Structure 1
Amino acid sequence: MKPIHTILAGTCLIASMTACAPQQKETPKPERTPEALAMLQTLKTLPQQGVFMFGHHDDPVYGIRWDGDENRSDVKSVCGDYPAMMSFDLGHIELGDSVNLDKVSFDRIRREVVAQYERGGMSSFSWHLDNPQTGKDTWDVSDSTVVRSVLPGGANHEKFITWLDRAADYMNSIQTADGTKVPVLFRPWHEHTGSWFWWGQKLCSTEEYKALWSMTYNRMKEKGADQLLWAYSPGIEPNDTTEYLERYPGDSIVDLIGVDAYQFERAAYEQALDKSLRIMTQIGKSHNKAIAVTETGYETIPDSTWWTGTLMPIIQKYPISYVLVWRNAREKENHFYAPYPGQVSEQDFVKFYNDPKTLFAGDMKSN
């Protein structure tokens, strides 16, 4: 834990605040667990304190030149602490597989989500599920009728309900030893403003996309998944609040709004991320939603000062709850987004870690 972080002392935090009353006067959503409400309140409170969480996808399950080790993390190896936010993927849970699309055991993910919760951190789930129409992967965009086919009355509706049930059952199974369901942030149907997933912009109508979201939310509620928070995360394509909200499913079923933005060229990235965060800040205030950079990064991080020279100057201007970088693949060369020992941005990341605005897992418990 960084001693410099004293700002959170006394703040209601996720591991210990399950009985805390919300600080803001707002009507809680029905059928939401106290733990989920506590997590939501933390997401909203952190920006008010001038801090945000750092996150990393698949952080504790594999990394550069290692796979499956226990109590390990490339981030932890660099700075001595786990990320405050971790994300994992549900892809292939719909098929009934024991491992996800990145060949990580769902049992292992369950254990890691519980461990992250118990150390005071948070977890989120994305879902790169297969194409239910063609049987190919989530990136198969050869058919523009897939979303329509899974909606009520569609040829794949019953199969898709089974898929949703498998996802709900799995997330309901993520429990502490005393049977408490661990609250998680669920981020379905992400990056829909692009067209590289079968639910993307050119693959379905606005009405169909919103119906997909509503059906997902309602089925999860029917299955008793009341520990979930819900995140809406387009890409960088929207240029104003109207475009950002074009397919927004509604305030009643969204808790956090985000953006997925990756660097390929620095100036374009800086401009796009700043634009997106400006839009989200406006919407977050008017709709009372937490905001976050739900995915970002610079593949291989070749810039030795990227963390403090490119990323931080943009995100520190906005009231984000967290910023999360993508995974450190162990099966692909040059596909990593967080530093590891010896990586060129390692020392700059330590500076980023030591900044009082950044929170890691050790900072999420009261000092």
Structure 2
Amino acid sequence: MKGFSYFIGIYMLSLLLTACSATPGESTKTREAESLLASLKRIPQKGFLFGHHDDPVYGIGWDGDENRSDVKSVCGDYPAVMSFDLGHIEKDSDKNLDNVPFERIRKEIVAQYHRGGMVSVSWHVDNPVTGKDAWDVSDTTAVGSILPGGVNHEMFLGWLDKVAGFMNSLSLADGTKIPVLFRPWHEHTGSWFWWGQNLCTIEQYKALWRMTYDRLQEKGATHLLYAYSPGTEPNEIAEYLERYPGDDIIDLVGFDTYQFDRQEYVDGMEKALGILTEVGKMKDKPIAITETGYEAIPDSTWWTETLLPVIRKYPISYVLVWRNAREKKAHYYAPYPGQSSADDFVKFYQDTCTLFVRDLKDIQF
């Protein structure tokens, strides 16, 4: 077992220092959120966490089963990071945009916390002007319309309150709120979401982040960490940070990228990880590959011959692949039993750099 046996002492020390060194008003985060952040900074000393979106709620050939996971079915272990999406919570729907009940998501977040793992949450929120999905870029006034003074501002504050309500419901029996990494307004260096680069100004994008953060803080969601995750479009540090909303808001920096052409993917990863490593040092933030993958994983050795050789060279805290859709043919990013890359994924799992739930038995996020 590639355990974290020595890490418990470091982790407990971080808890003690957090409790003893903070002065009133110095931090607006809960103790648990601060401990998660400290742990994310230390993870690269031993490797990186592996994550999978919607991992325990559906997969290839199944939907809604309890205690099931395509990743676990292949390697015998759960991902150390699980992510979920809040899209449609703004509509008062009981299910998200991928037809997963919010109550089930809540249950799985609690379960992942009890396993000792971590949770990330994204929000593919519908276009507030057109009412269509997050990918509707037909109107360039959406961001401006929800900022203070905009025609949809009050409506959008209500949407943020629904997010806050869900986040605040993520608690244990004793009332402790489960720390979560929140990742809104992602991939903004592209223009396929209504908050993308060509759909709003730099000032509007930063104001969107500030409004989001301030409202969730006001509503008591102080157990959240925040991730900034553009794509691989930036070619230098200044471009990466062009729309960065501020050190006081952002806790982790990352990027999203997917493979289409292998060499372009590898080159893009190297470029982005080089930039990200420098930004992490400059800002004293943990870094991560917040979304990646190769749809349907047609390369049987992709895990150990494409992904791993690149990312093991950089001090990332985690890498997360996207979902295994049960409603779309060949739209999956983690292997399932019998899939062509499953054996290679087991080798990936066995590598000393990759960390899954069992590797975290001595540490709780």
Q: What SS class does the counterpart of residue 344 from structure 2 fall into?
A: helix
Alignment-derived partner of residue 282 in structure 1:
278
Alignment-derived partner of residue 32 in structure 1:
29
Q: Does residue 44 of the first structure (1) align with residue 32 of the second (2)?
A: no
Residues 60 and 71 in structure 1, CA contact (< 8 A), matched pair in contact too: yes
Alignment-derived partner of residue 226 in structure 1:
222
Alignment-derived partner of residue 133 in structure 1:
129
Offset of residue 19 of structure 1: 3.7
- 2: distance between equivalents of 1:18 and 1:177? 24
Q: What SS class does the counterpart of residue 252 from structure 1 fall into?
A: coil
- 2: distance between equivalents of 1:139 and 1:11? 45
- 2: distance between equivalents of 1:17 and 1:109? 32
Q: Does residue 326 of the first structure (1) align with residue 322 of the second (2)?
A: yes
The one of 97, 102, 105 equivalent to 2:101 is: 105
Residues 18 and 34 in structure 1, CA contact (< 8 A), matched pair in contact too: no
CA distances 1:140-184 after superposition (whole Å, capped 9, x unpaired): 000111100000000000000000000011010011122111000
Mapping for residues 52-63 of structure 1, pairs under 5 Å:
52-63=48-59
For 2:3, the aligned partner's letter is H
Give the TM-score normalised by the residue count of structure 1.
Answer: 0.95
Alignment-derived partner of residue 338 in structure 2:
342
Residues 114 and 176 in structure 1, CA contact (< 8 A), matched pair in contact too: yes
Alignment-derived partner of residue 61 in structure 2:
65
Q: Does residue 209 of the first structure (1) align with residue 205 of the second (2)?
A: yes
- 2: distance between equivalents of 1:30 and 1:252? 10
Kindly report the root-mean-square deviation, in angstroms, between the aligned alpha carbons of the 2 structures: 1.7
- 1: distance between equivalents of 2:26 and 2:329? 45
Residues 35, 6 of structure 1: CA spacing in aligned structure 2 closer, same or farther, 3 A cutoff? closer
Residues 5 and 356 in structure 1, CA contact (< 8 A), matched pair in contact too: no
The one of 155, 158, 168 equivalent to 2:154 is: 158
- 1: distance between equivalents of 2:194 and 2:267? 28
- 1: distance between equivalents of 2:257 and 2:105? 25
Alignment-derived partner of residue 256 in structure 2:
260
Residues 5 and 362 in structure 2, CA contact (< 8 A), matched pair in contact too: no
CA distances 1:190-221 after superposition (whole Å, capped 9, x unpaired): 00000000000000000000000000000000
For 1:248, the aligned partner's letter is Y
- 2: distance between equivalents of 1:327 and 1:185? 18
For 1:135, the aligned partner's letter is G
- 2: distance between equivalents of 1:115 and 1:18? 24
Offset of residue 97 of structure 1: 0.7
Residues 287 and 317 in structure 2, CA contact (< 8 A), matched pair in contact too: yes
Alignment-derived partner of residue 114 in structure 1:
110
- 2: distance between equivalents of 1:8 and 1:100? 40
Alignment-derived partner of residue 244 in structure 1:
240
Residues 319, 98 of structure 1: CA spacing in aligned structure 2 closer, same or farther, 3 A cutoff? same
The structure with the greater share of residues assigned to helix is 2
Residues 145 and 204 in structure 1, CA contact (< 8 A), matched pair in contact too: yes
For 1:258, the aligned partner's letter is G
- 2: distance between equivalents of 1:11 and 1:327? 34
Alignment-derived partner of residue 10 in structure 1:
8
Residues 124 and 184 in structure 1, CA contact (< 8 A), matched pair in contact too: yes
- 2: distance between equivalents of 1:9 and 1:179? 27
- 2: distance between equivalents of 1:98 and 1:54? 29
Q: What SS class does the counterpart of residue 133 from structure 2 fall into?
A: coil
| Identity percentage of aligned residues | 65
Q: What SS class does the counterpart of residue 17 from structure 2 fall into?
A: coil
Q: What SS class does the counterpart of residue 253 from structure 2 fall into?
A: strand
For 1:38, the aligned partner's letter is S
Residues 8, 69 of structure 1: CA spacing in aligned structure 2 closer, same or farther, 3 A cutoff? farther
Residues 18 and 31 in structure 2, CA contact (< 8 A), matched pair in contact too: no
CA distances 1:34-86 after superposition (whole Å, capped 9, x unpaired): 10001001100111x23110000000000000000000000000011100000
Number of equivalent positions: 361
Alignment gaps of 5+ in structure 2 = none
Offset of residue 20 of structure 1: 3.7
Alignment-derived partner of residue 177 in structure 2:
181
Moved more, 170-179 or 317-326: 170-179
For 1:65, the aligned partner's letter is G
Q: What SS class does the counterpart of residue 207 from structure 1 fall into?
A: helix
For 2:183, the aligned partner's letter is R
Residues 193 and 234 in structure 1, CA contact (< 8 A), matched pair in contact too: yes
Offset of residue 6 of structure 1: 4.5
Alignment gaps of 5+ in structure 1 = none
Q: Does residue 358 of the first structure (1) align with residue 363 of the second (2)?
A: no
Q: Does residue 83 of the first structure (1) align with residue 79 of the second (2)?
A: yes
- 2: distance between equivalents of 1:344 and 1:132? 41
